[in-house]
Chain A
Amino acid sequence: MLEAERISGGYGGGDVLHGVSIRVGNGEAVALLGPNGAGKSTLMAALTATLPRRSGVLRLAGHDVSAAPSHALVASGLALVPEGRQIFAPFSVRDNLRLGAMALAGRSSLAERFEHVYALFPRLAQRADQRAGAMSGGEQQMLAIGRALMSRPTILLLDEPFLGLAPKIIDEILTALALLRRDGLTLLLVEQKLPIALSATTRAYVMLKGEIVLEAGCEALARRSDIHDLYFSLAAQPAQK
């Protein structure tokens, strides 16, 4: 579905990503784990062509899209729920969702998309006319996910969507993600907490200092004692060499 090969790049000066390769199969749900500053969000920017500088190969559904601009990637079925939600706060919930469908062709499918998102997150339907910035953090996150779904993606990237949310809201969103998976949506979830990643995905990459240092099935990862120790030991390894 999505293949990234030897992706390097950054914001200006030095590289943040150093030859990162990941692949996400059709219908798969994959986690990207790593501590603060590892470069997870930078990789999301690279995958969506919003990083200022990038090299490497990007393939989407078998097609080489290394040179495609962001809006073309969205049109070909790749959507990102960015870190920090990045909703358009002054706009209504409905306008935010409508903007998510900018790359969608056809009026009839627009109505179908609204229905789909409102069915997944009924709170958004209740708040359709409200100013998006006036909603609670959990509702804003639902809006950010709903907005990304408006473009009818085949693969959805989520960058730490659970950060700072109450456990009840986290469960609600996890349920929604499970429903989406059941309908065949491919997921790549950036997360710092292993338990959450385990409940939503089946395979995981661990990223440290701009490199993938580990790839494992989530069950195997779960058997390892503590993810924070794992980060720590992995981070220490290159120094020992």
Chain B
Amino acid sequence: MTETTPTTDLTPTPGQTVGPFYGYAMPYEHDNELVPPGSARAVQLTGTVYDGAGERVPDAILEIWQPDENGEVPRKTGSLLRNGFTFTGFGRAAVDPEGEFSFSTVNPGPTEAGKAPFISLVIFARGLLNRLFTRIYLPEDTEALAADPLLSSLDEDERARLVATRGADGSLHFDIRLQGEEETPFLRFPSHED
């Protein structure tokens, strides 16, 4: 239907801020429940988003994307209309007025033997002019963490900021700091080069 205006310019389209008014459009029922909360395999992933003054950011929206417990990359549809059984690997969570988010998910497995398992995270917020990518690593496999190419390129403090902490109840905790001394390391992939 667009034959009349073929695209020849293949420079990536610029991003823009998600703005303040995504709240009635992006969230959907069970958006943050990759598995039903309270189910046997469910792991709660929580955290808080902070700005450069250490204030909580009450208008951010996050998405996670991850393999299942066996490290399998999900190829199933149904993230927007969950049936409670299919693991699609995708979830979305708007933070609450305290800047806190919560997902119900599973511990991702390593996608290849020996790889450090992690959850891929993308962050949008009012005041944030383009999305930010990062990773939430599981804390357990210290050998794999030590061998991880990204983590080994970081200093000790930065490395710690990409590894979730495990609660006694099995939950995962991961805070995001958009700016400042404790700033979360954010990622730039080769495809993002201009």
Whether chains A and B associate is: no
Query: Which B positions have Cβ atoms within 8 angstroms of A?
Result: none
